[in-house]
Amino acid sequence: MDSLEGLIRPFQAACRPAVQRGLAAACWRWLVDDWNWPAAGLVAAVLIVGLLPAVFAVASPALGLVVAQLPLYLVHQAEEHVGDRFRRQINAQAGGEALSQPATFWINSLGVWCVDLLAIGLAAGLDLAWGFLAVYLTLINAIVHLLAGIVRRESNAGLVSAVVLFLPVGGVTWWTLERATGLGVPGHLLFAGLIVLEHALIVAWVVTWRGRAPAQEHSR
């Protein structure tokens, strides 16, 4: 048996990288090329909401509300990106492919999922005030959607959930966290400033690449 395992092990070692690359490529095709990640996020939101009663049972109300920011944002992303609505809208306004599909995916996965998970982890394990990072991500995004709607005098992808979900739930979470932490003005400026910087970098990306590439819109 040992000799057989010794013969098989080199083949396993040689095949593993190819299998991993194949799985990664298949996941990328399904999530990004086929544009399934917004709907997958909505399913994840339902599952996380189902776990929230357990979270509130073992955590403080403030921390529970911080955790709730993630499924809240996943619902918002579904409104924005199912049917590729947000990217198409931005590209139409920019007059070119300012946002590619891969860029849109990475902005939303790194800039939202990872930020929320980081905020939840730090709020749970280090200091509850880190939860404001997730709250300001929610509230500032809602403000951006509202301002865009007012300036352009038209609706935009994500506006409904920004008004119906982000503002009330984000506002309650902000108030609950403030009462629990007593975070001072410098702390609020720090967390809000980080989120404003993130949004500014995204806008800078769109402005920088505006018109550099031809529009490559795909029918979905």
Rounded Cα distance, 56 and 91, in Å = 41
**Is residue 214 in some structural domain?**
no
pLDDT(140) > 50: yes
Query: Do 78 and 21 share a structural domain?
Result: no
Average pLDDT, the chain: 88
121 sits in the region (left: phi over 0; alpha: psi -120 to 50; else beta) called: alpha
Query: Do 40 and 19 share a structural domain?
Result: no
Place of tokens 């993630």: 70
Per-residue pLDDT tens digits for 141-167 = 999 999 999 999 999 999 999 999 999
C-alpha dist (Å) from residue 37 to 82, 123, 155? 9, 27, 23
Residues making up the chain, counted from first to last: 220
All residues at 6 or more sequence positions from 129 whose CB lies less than 8 Å from its CB, including other chains: 123, 177, 181, 183, 187, 191
Number of domains in the chain: 2
**Is residue 170 in some structural domain?**
yes
Query: Do 70 and 18 share a structural domain?
Result: no
Place of tokens 């395992």: 5
Rounded Cα distance, 119 and 72, in Å = 14
Indicate the DSSP class of residue 1.
-
**Is residue 217 in some structural domain?**
no
Q: Give the pLDDT band (50/70/90) at residue 215.
A: very low
Query: Do 150 and 196 share a structural domain?
Result: yes
pLDDT(110) > 80: yes
Query: Do 98 and 25 share a structural domain?
Result: no
Query: Do 100 and 21 share a structural domain?
Result: no
Rounded Cα distance, 85 and 100, in Å = 13
Confidence (pLDDT) at 89: 92
Tell me the mean pLDDT in the region 187-212.
Answer: 84
Confidence (pLDDT) at 209: 62
Query: Do 154 and 77 share a structural domain?
Result: yes
Query: Do 123 and 68 share a structural domain?
Result: yes
**Is residue 216 in some structural domain?**
no
The boundaries of the domain holding residue 2 are: 1-34
**Is residue 127 in some structural domain?**
yes
**Is residue 219 in some structural domain?**
no
**Is residue 44 in some structural domain?**
yes
pLDDT(7) > 80: no
Q: Give the pLDDT band (50/70/90) at residue 28.
A: very high
**Closest by CA position to 74, among listed 155, 136, 138, 140:** 138
Confidence (pLDDT) at 32: 94
Query: Do 177 and 96 share a structural domain?
Result: yes
**Is residue 85 in some structural domain?**
yes
C-alpha dist (Å) from residue 159 to 39, 40, 45, 55, 97? 18, 20, 18, 28, 22
